[in-house]
């Protein structure tokens, strides 16, 4: 199938911003890393747009982009600074402090954004110790302020999070909340450790005994994580498929990869990082004490969590959920369920492949290996990562993409299962049709990949494991050497994502577009098999982008209006967004396509819908495929932040 679309992007020389973000491959990352982390630069960059900063921005070391071929001559690719910019742009452009949230997010995507912020703060905190020789005390103070400032956003979001709404959503929605607050707890814990190490070395600005104020928030975060873990745990069901989490209590039974991976990751993270929770709210402690199922005083390292994670892992690996490429398909229905059959087997698989389904499991596997000292969990994670990288069309053995994007060659390489040309994509990326859910997916993959491959990931292996120090060191060394091999691929993806930044520094959804270098109005032709397989087949249902089909497979018969019990085909109301933002499928819900979707579509169609940027006079000035569909959003910004953080974190293995 060859179809033609007009897809192009401004040439790097068109705007100064584009030049600033041009990337270089020529300098080894290790060299760049040694050159950098001038936090003064970071702080200046963060505050340049706002109030007057005591830190004037340093001159940018720009060479003329024309001098040695566009995109190859600028040694200014500074991962840490770019990551920091992605964070500060995210909070400046999308976070509203007066309401304490990202207003255009939806409940679950906000939980993920807050996770990205906390994870980035943790990464930044590590760099506090890497003090520059010429750095004055004032600069150190500002670094602390930067961290405290974004941590304030996390606290604000704690109160803005609509915990009551999320209680009535799907089980996966609840588990994003758990992961988010556990991430914040880990940030606070690690920040405290960094500060006390600095104090011990005489680098701190405070007496050694004083604990950072962020610690006071740990009980609150722990409480929310515990509440939502308990709510979600009710989704574990043993009557069908021999176990596994149900996705959504209001739909036909569907046991999908994401809910089970989340339950595994959240449970093992609770086991490792949850500090206990004596807060019995929403029940009085008397009531709680009298409920046998209710553990009134949750303690750290409760074996309940560890067992839940192991059980979820056991179920997932025996569920036959991976496809011929070794990637997780989306999930299983139970054929005949609800129509008198006694079948209880998970036998109707949705073959749709999403990036995030290959991601969340990674931090679960890391946690299980930390908790047990068993290396096979890590091997399972590496096997999956390799399958993902292969499915982006990248040859890890030779460290080159299988097909490349060559400027001047307008053919878009084939879809390889989860991307093309060595760049991670979701199936909706190329057509610009990603839903708000899908816009969050690649960032989620990168977040969990970074967790898995962080050089500090295996610092703590549970003391009860029987391994001696030599054995632990060997596991760490093998893990590090496996992670190191992903860096060139990761760098390529970060470079692509950076290329999608617009003049305000905001990241787009379709990263591959960031590597396409076409002059205005040139045509990009889709090569053979460039489009992902159609999602209209019976066994490939892209419900995250197209909405849950209103068919008996997905929706309970009693909930189907008579007009839809016969095979659907009718456009109005045949699909429903699965979750979030008040449009969750509910028993008696409004099945009309939501007004906001409709308006959104009409906003976008027309010039912007095709990726055309209008100039002030209403003429067409540039081409940008990332303006199509929902365009740039807080979710796509979270993706850009996550890929840069992943590159920064994983490239520590190179030092
Ligand atoms: C809890 O149990 C104790 C003793 O069994 C009883 O005295 C008390 O009233 C109970 N509290 C509640 C709230 O049910
Ligand atoms: C695993 O799933 C695939 C796809 O649904 C199916 O063809 C195959 O028969 C299943 N294998 C087992 C052992 O159930
Ligand atoms: C399920 O139903 C079939 C007939 O529809 C029957 O032959 C079979 O014995 C039943 N299995 C169980 C476990 O009840
Ligand atoms: C769906 O939309 C139609 C037309 O706007 C309206 O008459 C109908 O009541 C709506 N249905 C529901 C369930 O809200």
Hey, CA dihedral for 469, 471, 474, 475, is it positive or negative? negative
pLDDT score of 140: 76
- For 459, the domain range is 16-277+297-517+533-543+630-654
Q: pLDDT (tens digit, 9 = 90+) per residue, 358-396? A: 999 999 999 999 999 999 999 999 999 999 999 999 999
Answer whether residue 8 is part of any domain.
Answer: no
CA angle 261, 494, 366 (to 5 degrees): 30
CATH number at residue 50: 1.50.10.20
In a mutational test of the pocket of ligand 4, which residue from 571, 573, 592, 598 has the highest number of ligand atoms less than 8 Å from its CB? Answer: 592
Angle, helices 218-233 vs 137-160, to 10°: value is 40
pLDDT score of 358: 98
For ligand 2, residues with CB inside 6 Å are 320, 349
CA dist 42 and 58 (Å) reads 10
Q: pLDDT (tens digit, 9 = 90+) per residue, 100-151? A: 999 999 999 999 999 999 999 999 998 887 766 566 667 777 888 899 999 9
Answer whether residue 359 is part of any domain.
Answer: yes
Query: Which residue's alpha carbon is nearest to atom 12 within ligand 1?
Result: 287
Token pair recorded at residue 467: 């391994």
Close Cβ partners of 30 (under 8 Å, ≥ 6 residues apart) = 651, 654, 655
* Nearest-atom index, ligand 2, CA of 320: 1
Hey, CA dihedral for 423, 330, 270, 582, is it positive or negative? positive
What average pLDDT does the structure give for the chain? Answer: 78
Answer whether residue 605 is part of any domain.
Answer: no
Q: Which of 135, 187, 345, 178 is nearest to 255 (CA)?
A: 345
Residue 478 CA, distance from chain mean position: 26
Q: Are 169 and 160 in contact (CB under 8 A)?
A: no
Q: Pick the residue with more confidence: 95 or 575?
A: 95
CA dist 125 and 190 (Å) reads 8
Number of folded domains that form the chain: 1
Ligand 2: centre distance to CA 558 (Å): 30
Q: Which helix (H) or strand (E) holds 447?
A: helix 441-453
Question: Quick one: pLDDT band at residue 206, thresholds 50, 70, 90?
Answer: low
CA dist 645 and 87 (Å) reads 10
Query: Which residue's alpha carbon is nearest to atom 8 within ligand 1?
Result: 286
Ligand 4: centre distance to CA 239 (Å): 37
Place of tokens 């999908």: 256
Answer whether residue 285 is part of any domain.
Answer: no
Q: pLDDT (tens digit, 9 = 90+) per residue, 278-305? A: 887 776 656 555 555 555 578 899 999 9
Q: What is the pTM of this model?
A: 0.80
Hey, CA dihedral for 68, 70, 74, 79, is it positive or negative? negative
Ligand 3: centre distance to CA 81 (Å): 63
User: Quick one: average pLDDT of 302-330?
Assistant: 96
Query: Which residue's alpha carbon is nearest to atom 5 within ligand 4?
Result: 592
Look at residue 31 and tell me whether its pLDDT is greater than 50. Answer: no
Place of tokens 């939806």: 106
3-state helix, strand, coil in the chain (%, to 5): 45, 5, 45
Reading phi first (left if > 0) and then psi (alpha if -120 to 50, else beta), residue 210 is in beta
Q: pLDDT (tens digit, 9 = 90+) per residue, 411-463? A: 788 999 999 999 999 999 988 899 999 999 999 999 999 999 999 889 888 77
Look at residue 513 and tell me whether its pLDDT is greater than 70. Answer: yes
Q: pLDDT (tens digit, 9 = 90+) per residue, 468-497? A: 999 999 999 999 999 999 999 999 999 999
Ligand 4: centre distance to CA 564 (Å): 15
For ligand 1, residues with CB inside 6 Å are 286-287, 290
């Amino acid at each position: 199938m060859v179809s033609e679309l007009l897809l192009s992007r401004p040439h790097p020389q068109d705007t100064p911003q584009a030049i600033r973000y041009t990337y270089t491959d020529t300098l080894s990352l290790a060299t760049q890393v040694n050159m950098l982390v001038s936090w003064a630069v970071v702080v200046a960059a963060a505050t340049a747009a706002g109030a007057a900063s005591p830190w004037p921005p340093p001159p940018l070391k720009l060479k003329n982009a024309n001098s040695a071929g566009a995109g190859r001559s600028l040694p200014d690719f500074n991962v840490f600074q770019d990551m920091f910019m992605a964070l500060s742009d995210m909070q400046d452009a999308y976070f509203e402090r007066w309401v304490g949230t990202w207003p255009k997010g939806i409940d679950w995507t906000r939980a993920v954004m807050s996770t990205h912020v906390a994870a980035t703060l943790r990464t930044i905190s590590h760099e506090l110790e890497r003090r520059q020789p010429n750095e004055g005390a004032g600069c150190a103070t500002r670094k602390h302020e930067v961290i405290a400032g974004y941590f304030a956003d996390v606290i604000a979001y704690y109160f803005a999070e609509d915990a009551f709404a999320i209680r009535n959503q799907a089980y996966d929605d609840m588990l994003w909340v758990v992961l988010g607050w556990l991430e914040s707890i880990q940030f606070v814990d690690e920040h405290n450790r960094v500060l006390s190490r600095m104090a011990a070395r005489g680098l701190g600005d405070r007496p050694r005994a004083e604990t950072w104020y962020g610690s006071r928030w740990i009980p609150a975060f722990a409480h929310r994580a515990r509440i939502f873990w308990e709510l979600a745990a009710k989704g574990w069901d043993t009557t069908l498929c021999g176990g596994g989490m149900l996705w959504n209590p209001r739909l036909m039974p569907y046991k999908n990869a994401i809910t089970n991976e989340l339950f595994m990751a959240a449970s093992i993270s609770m086991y490792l990082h949850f500090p206990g929770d004596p807060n019995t709210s929403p029940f009085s402690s008397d009531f709680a004490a009298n409920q046998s199922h209710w553990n009134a005083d949750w303690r750290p390292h409760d074996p309940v969590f560890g067992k839940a994670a192991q059980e979820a892992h056991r179920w997932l690996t025996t569920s036959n959920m991976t496809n011929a490429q070794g990637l997780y398909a989306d999930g299983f229905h139970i054929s005949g369920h609800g129509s008198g059959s006694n079948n209880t087997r998970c036998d109707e698989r949705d073959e749709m492949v999403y990036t995030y389904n290959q991601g969340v499991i990674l931090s679960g596997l890391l946690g299980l290996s930390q908790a047990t000292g068993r290396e096979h969990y890590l091997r399972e994670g590496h096997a999956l990562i390799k399958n993902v990288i292969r499915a982006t069309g990248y040859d890890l053995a030779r460290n080159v993409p299988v097909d490349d994007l060559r400027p001047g060659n307008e053919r878009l390489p084939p879809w390889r299962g989860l991307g093309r040309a060595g760049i991670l994509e979701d199936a909706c990326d190329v057509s610009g049709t990603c839903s708000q859910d899908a816009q969050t997916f690649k960032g989620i993959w990168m977040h969990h990949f970074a967790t898995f491959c962080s050089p500090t990931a295996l610092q703590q292996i549970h003391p009860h494991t029987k391994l001696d120090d030599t054995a632990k060191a060997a596991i760490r060394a093998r893990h590090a050497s496996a992670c190191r091999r992903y860096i060139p691929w990761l760098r390529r993806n970060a470079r692509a994502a950076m290329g999608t930044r617009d003049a305000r520094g905001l990241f787009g959804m379709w990263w591959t577009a960031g590597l396409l270098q076409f002059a205005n109005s040139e045509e990009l032709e889709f090569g053979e098999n460039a489009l992902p397989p159609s999602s209209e087949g019976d066994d490939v249902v892209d419900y995250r982008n197209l909405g849950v089909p209103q068919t008996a497979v997905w929706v309970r018969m009693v909930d189907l209006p008579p007009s839809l019990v016969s095979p659907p085909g009718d456009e109005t109301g045949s699909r429903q967004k699965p979750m979030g933002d008040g449009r969750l499928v509910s028993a008696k819900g409004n099945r009309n396509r939501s007004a906001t979707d409709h308006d959104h579509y009409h906003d976008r169609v027309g010039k912007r819908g095709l990726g055309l940027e209008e100039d002030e006079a209403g003429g067409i000035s540039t081409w940008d495929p990332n303006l199509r569909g929902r365009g740039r959003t807080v979710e796509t910004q979270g993706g850009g932040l996550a890929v840069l953080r992943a590159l920064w974190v994983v490239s520590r293995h190179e030092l």
